[in-house]
Amino acid sequence: MQNILFVLEIAAIFFLMSKGCISVLLWVMSLILFQMSYEKGNEHIYLEAIEDYPVQDCVKPKKFRFLYKKLNKLSYKGIPKEMYYCETIKVYGFIIYSISAFVMLFIDIQMTYWLGGAYITLYVGLSLLSAGILKRKSFIARYKLLNRYNLKYLLGPEDEPYPKQVGKCRIESVFRRGRKVFAVVRMIDTGEEKNRVLVLGKKEHNRDTFYILYEICNVYYIV
């Protein structure tokens, strides 16, 4: 059914182009973009990011719930807030664009060309922005830092590794690098010293507490 619909949409685009109906063509293209995003685009982005995306940044949609009917079945987390806000802007944008373009058909038809181009640009821009933020957040949630060992997973997330426990450790000293806090830790079992361990969390860290050291792609961290 989707293949038939796709063929009909392409046929409609070529028909409108042949007739020079640019205003209607731009509106149909905007509608097709919206349909493609709803049917497949958001699902692909969602599945790629949701496993590691922070659950505290997810929301339960209150508006346009039909857009997320498929996605809500894929995870208990809900919808990433960036995706929800961008999709909401797209919907309102499409409604405003449709009404404005219809009015301008009777006033200045050339203005409808600008409106169509502006909406398509807005749509693509919001889609790229949303996907980029989701990717960044999910990547940082898993890998904590970007380095040469995990860069390939940012570019092509296939067969991604999971963090592994290294063992118990104790903090020897703490230092800052920009906004991030690092520590020198000593392993309890072996006495080995790790010199650049990322410290996560906002609670106070002290030498009298034992921590679990984790590692993923040569990034060491404690929580």
Count Cβ atoms within 10 A of the Cβ of residue 174 and give its class: 0-12 exposed, 13-18 middle, 19 or more buried.
Answer: middle
Same domain, 122 and 169: no
Q: Identify the segments of the chain with pLDDT beneath 50.
A: 1-3, 5-8, 13-20
- Whole-angstrom distance, CA of residue 160 vs CA of residue 156: 9
132 and 176 in a single domain? The answer is no
Give the pLDDT of residue 187: 92
Residue 27 neighbours by CB distance under 10 Å: 21
Question: pTM surpassing 0.85?
Answer: no
Are 103 and 64 in a shared domain?
yes
Show the tokens assigned to 106.
């009777």
What pLDDT shows up at residue 10? 53
CA 193 to chain centre: 37
Residues 170 and 119 in one domain: no
pLDDT at 41: 63
Shared domain check, 119 and 52: yes
pLDDT given for residue 7 in this prediction: 44
φ, ψ (nearest 5 deg) of residue 12: -65, -40
Residue 196 has phi, psi (to 5 degrees) of -140, 85
At 11 the pLDDT is 52
Pair (9, 60) in one structural domain: yes
| pLDDT for the residue numbered 5 | 46
Copy the structure tokens of residue 53.
């995306």
Instruction: Give residue 51's domain range.
Output: 2-143
| Dihedral angle over CA of 145, 77, 55, 164, nearest 10 | -40
